[in-house]
Amino acid sequence: MSIDRTELFGAREGNEGIVRCDACPVLCRIRPGRAGACSRYANADGRLVRTDPLVLMERAAETVPFLARDWEAERSFVTAIGAGTTYPDYKPAPFIVGARHQGVDTVTVVTEGIFSYCGLKVKIDTDRHLGLETAPVRVDGEQIGHVTTAEYGSQMLSLGGVRHLTGGSKKEGNVTCATMLALCEKQAVEVTIDGGATVMLQAGQAPIVNGLPEARMRVGCGSAAIGIFAQQWYGHVDEVIVVDDHITGVLSEHQAGKCLDMPPSGIRVRGRRSTPGRYFQVAHPGTGWGGTDITDPLAVIERIDPKLAWPGLRLLLTSTTGEDHLYCELDEALRPVPRQTPPAVLQTVERIGENCEPALTSILFMAGAGGSLRAGVTENPVRLTREVQAGLVRVTIGGAPATLWPGGGITIMADVLRVPDGAFGSVPTPALVAPIEFTLRADLYARLGGHVGHVIPLAELLAGYGETARREPWIAGNPWPLD
């Protein structure tokens, strides 16, 4: 048995076998044996066909209850990868699949969305200064995004978006689209930040900043590190300075040191004192110690009070990751003199490193599901929006869980590492193409005005695509959409 999808896409033009593809606004005229501009559709003997196979995700057999009814259907999920689109909006989704799961009749509507309104949120685990907030991020000289807020141990970038895709030059749009597609497909892309660093980005890999791979995500800010390790330092050192671009910590002044009855050391660091033992702006941002521009940690010391300090005072300076540290003792003139780090002190520095997680790059795809997607699900799109917002419709991206943002519309975000390989594509409008699935109860689908006349039983679809579909194992950690 075979299922013919060609009737949903394209139209013949003339007698030369040319087919006009209407799967996106470009409306390519494709000659026999050739593919369109996106390479996603081709003309096969006068019929428009999708060049990529439909992707079916399958759970391992042992996860299905013994003697479950319709065993293959219970463990198969039809993704929208390779499914086709609903453009120009009036058509039902390419596949509307009916299944029975744990005694409940369900419907999964699958379509490949053409997203002009989409972008990437990039989380880079690093203490290094990558660039000032709002600084442009570029590829091939074209701005594709900007630096946004720094979160705890990570720097965020916002890439893509409709203004870069459509609001600038043609080159800017094309470079933005190509960069987003490569990152969504887990490839490595080098970006430059105005006035800042060059960074190699790749989902699930360590960021490479100015040619040097990051290894550790900091255990905490300088103040947090003081609080965590104060007890372990007590008795081995008289003062600890944890250098951090944001909040540098000083042990004897910090409340943790006070609770341990540590005497004041008389060592005052540069910067603006916030609260006891916590200092802001001790140096300029950079790629040195703790995300500052400091390479000589003693430069963080502003003065040493001779009324409080004493010869032989033991001082440890460390970064927030423990990758950099220096142990000193004050001489008779109260000058810090570097010494070999005692084993007990070195153990505390190693403990900082032990508590640092591996530095990674995370790529999250974010998009707004608009009219063409919703019209492919129901004739009254606002009903779909309301049921999604009410939590009665599960939205997935290639089977991967999608986070729904609050407020109006259907604005979703998904980790690209949880999406199957080959899920994303592009069209030269330019826009990204991404799979999206809506799963809900069959009775609810009928009530919201769904295209119930186009529902195809899952067993029939599996029979029709048994030999041509690409079957992929279910990605561990992703919840089963029908549960």
- Over residues 144-174, the pLDDT tens digits come to 999 999 999 999 999 999 999 999 999 999 9
Per-range mean pLDDT, top range of 27-41, 63-77, 243-257: 243-257
pLDDT of residue 6: 44
Query: CA 477 → CA 64, 247, 365, 417, distances in Å?
Result: 16, 36, 18, 11
pLDDT of residue 414: 98
In this structure, the strands spanning 198-201 and 208-209 are: antiparallel
pLDDT at 357 > cutoff 60: yes
pLDDT at 3 > cutoff 50: no
- Over residues 383-412, the pLDDT tens digits come to 999 999 999 999 999 999 999 999 999 999
pLDDT of residue 45: 79
- Over residues 5-53, the pLDDT tens digits come to 444 455 555 557 888 887 777 888 888 888 888 877 888 878 878 878 8
pLDDT of residue 10: 55
Please give the residue that has the higher pLDDT: either 79 or 37: 79
pLDDT of residue 67: 47
Q: Mean pLDDT, to the nearest integer, of 308-334?
A: 97
Supply φ then ψ for residue 169, to 5 degrees.
Answer: -75, 165
Query: CA 363 → CA 122, 204, 366, 413, 461, distances in Å?
Result: 5, 8, 10, 10, 33
For residue 68, what pLDDT band results from cuts at 50, 70 and 90? very low
Give yes or no for a contact between 325 and 318, defined as CB atoms under 8 angstroms apart.
yes
Average pLDDT, the chain: 91
pLDDT of residue 89: 72
pLDDT at 95 > cutoff 80: yes
Rounded percentage of the chain residues whose pLDDT exceeds 90: 76
pLDDT of residue 465: 81
Select from 8, 102, 93 the least CA-distant residue to 456: 93
